């Protein structure tokens, strides 16, 4: 089931709207089962689209898996396999330990370190797939995306990438990073004194 993309308005005639659904229909009561995000054009949200794409990708991965895997057989270990498989499509340079640029946000030169999926992408992806799994009939108790191994893996990736790239995902450290205040304006600049 693909979404119909909005046709490019080559024949631009903004006055002609064939289906003025949901545009101004305050009287319609949507049942609670229906999709919540009722945007004016009734297009599912970006998140929903992304979730569906991710889910399709995962299902395809399962189909191509050798030996074949069904959803029901899928465990956290398979999710980890999937996440590692996705690394080959990653766009985030993650430096290895011996690389001289380890820990630099903007390395001055290229290096042979691999591109990976950024932790933030993986984390969001797992969240979407976790939801999709249950929306597709999976039981929460057996949800492989909620497996402990997956959580641990994500944490490892986060920790390693934050070191390798000099990016801190958490504000645990005491040292204030006064280095690059131009680039990354942190949303909570107010330093609450904790100590």
Give the interface with Zn ion as residue ranges (CB under 5 A): 95, 99, 101, 111, 113
Residue with token string 């395809």:
60
Q: How far is the CB of 98 from Zn ion (least distance, A)?
A: 9
Q: Which is nearer to Zn ion, 68 or 108 (CB)?
A: 108
Q: Minimum CB separation from Zn ion for residue 90, in Å?
A: 14
Q: How far is the CB of 102 from Zn ion (least distance, A)?
A: 7
Rounded CA separation 21/195 (Å): 57
Of the two residues 117 and 143, which places its CB atom closer to Zn ion in the complex?
Answer: 117
CB distance 164 to 102 below 8 Å: yes
The residue with tokens 């119909």 is: 4
DSSP 174: S
| Pairwise CA distance, residues 172 & 180, whole Å | 18
If the CB atoms of residues 69 and 99 are measured against Zn ion, the closer one turns out to be: 99
Question: Per the structure block, which two tokens stand in for 104?
Answer: 């630099």
* Cβ distance to Zn ion smaller for residue 20 or 112: 112
**Smallest separation (angstroms) from Zn ion to the CB of 113:** 3
Enter the tokens of residue 161.
Answer: 């990438």
């Amino acid at each position: 089931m693909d979404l119909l993309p909005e046709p490019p308005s080559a024949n631009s005639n903004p006055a002609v709207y064939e289906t003025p659904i949901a545009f101004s229909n305050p009287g319609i009561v949507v049942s609670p089962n229906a999709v919540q995000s009722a945007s004016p054009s009734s297009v599912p949200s970006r998140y929903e689209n992304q979730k569906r794409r991710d889910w399709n990708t995962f299902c395809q991965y399962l189909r191509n898996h050798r030996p074949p895997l069904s959803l029901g057989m899928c465990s956290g270990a398979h999710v980890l396999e999937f996440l590692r498989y996705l690394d080959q499509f990653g766009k985030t340079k993650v430096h290895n330990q011996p690389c001289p640029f380890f820990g630099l946000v903007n390395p001055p030169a290229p290096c042979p370190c691999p591109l990976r999926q950024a932790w933030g992408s993986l984390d969001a992806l797992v969240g979407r797939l976790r939801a999709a799994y249950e929306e597709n009939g999976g039981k929460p108790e057996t949800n492989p995306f909620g497996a402990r191994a997956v959580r641990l893996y994500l944490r490892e990736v986060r920790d390693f990438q934050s070191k390798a790239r000099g990016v801190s995902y958490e504000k645990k450290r005491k040292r204030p990073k006064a280095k690059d205040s131009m680039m990354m304006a942190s949303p909570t600049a107010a330093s609450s004194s904790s100590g």
